[in-house]
Amino acid sequence: MNKLPSIQRKKIRIGDISISYLVSPCAQPKYTVVFIHGFPFNKNMWIPQLESLPQDVQGIALDVRGHGRSTIGHGFFSVDVFARDLIGFIEKIGLRQIVLCGVSMGGYIALRTFELAPALLKGLVLVSTHAQADTDAAKIKRFDTIQSVLKHGRRTFAIGFVKNVFSDYSLNTKPDEVAFIRSSIRRNDVRSICATLLALAARTDTTASLKKIDFPVLVIKGTEDRLVSTEQIEQLKTYIPRVEFAQLDLCGHLPNLEDTKQFNYLIDQYLTTLS
């Protein structure tokens, strides 16, 4: 069960789109961890995790529809559409023993995937995310962001966005990671950014499904996360029957990039708890 030497870049046709993905292959994987990026990033944010998975674990990171190098397709986005794309991807490749690891929007997609196809999954890692739908105030904020992107473009949007997703400590000490995320945002098409904001505003609440999760779940949050509240995390801890919670100090919304060593350790330890 040895890891093959390097990360491979691949594409596959699923329905009306071409999905671009990275795979850190394993000859006979015990588990396959599928990493789902947040908005408005891409699969490359997971490279530090793909490079450090245990020898008997396969890793896959994919670009969500309209992000990175995955195509936009029909252009009508929703978290439900993203989840159904993911299910189609899993089924076409024939993956087994799947653990989903999603950050922010990726967590919303992971939870909706569980609602749609719970039998596919053996584990969940929920990073900087929650189960609640947007409040009216949050929806209005997304609508305002759409207007700002249309008026001022991706560059201004990217500059403001990185200030919200990194902790102050990371902004001052991790220039490469900050530059990478800023660049990732600017690579997105304006149409995709706006369509995804509408999808996030329209997403359904997945709280009712949390009690039905019958495997261990790992929840990770940075102590300096500006976008996910303590109350939202507490709901996950309360409703999920078998949950482990970890906070990463001096991290914001992207702890996998802000404290890669500790984040990878948490993933490795979590995988040992799965049966």
The per-residue DSSP string of the chain comes to -PBPSS-EEEEEEETTEEEEEEEE-BSS-SEEEEEE--TT--GGGGHHHHTTS-TTEEEEEE--TTSTTS--TT----HHHHHHHHHHHHHHHT--SEEEEEETHHHHHHHHHHHH-GGGEEEEEEES--SPPPPHHHHHHHHHHHHHHHHHHHHHHHHHHHHHHS-HHHHHH-HHHHHHHHHHHHTS-HHHHHHHHHHHHHPPP-GGGGGG--S-EEEEEETT-SSS-HHHHHHHHHHSSSEEEEEETT--S-HHHHSHHHHHHHHHHHHTT--
Domain that holds residue 105: 8-133+205-271
Q: What are the Cα distances from residue 80, in Å, to 119, 195, 196?
A: 17, 13, 12
- Alpha-carbon distance of 211 to 204, in angstroms, equals 16
From 146, 113, 107, select the one nearest 128 (Cα to Cα).
Answer: 107
On whether residue 152 sits in a domain, the answer given is no
On whether residue 217 sits in a domain, the answer given is yes
Say what the pTM is: 0.97
| pLDDT beneath 70, residues of the chain | 1-5
On whether residue 94 sits in a domain, the answer given is yes
On whether residue 196 sits in a domain, the answer given is no
> What pLDDT is recorded for position 76?
95
Q: Are 251 and 167 in contact (CB under 8 A)?
A: yes
Instruction: Render pLDDT for 246-262 as a digit per residue (tens, 0 to 9).
Output: 999 999 999 999 999 99
On whether residue 63 sits in a domain, the answer given is yes
On whether residue 222 sits in a domain, the answer given is yes
- Per the structure, the count of domains in the chain is 1
> What pLDDT is recorded for position 6?
87
- Alpha-carbon distance of 57 to 45, in angstroms, equals 19
CATH number of the domain enclosing 117: 3.40.50.1820
- Alpha-carbon distance of 113 to 48, in angstroms, equals 24
On whether residue 154 sits in a domain, the answer given is no
> What pLDDT is recorded for position 97?
97
On whether residue 266 sits in a domain, the answer given is yes
From 130, 132, 127, select the one nearest 218 (Cα to Cα).
Answer: 127
- Token pair of 270 as six digits: 């979590």
Taking residue 234's Cβ as centre, other Cβ atoms within 10 Å add up to: 12
Tokens 């660049």 — which residue?
Answer: 183
> What pLDDT is recorded for position 272?
96
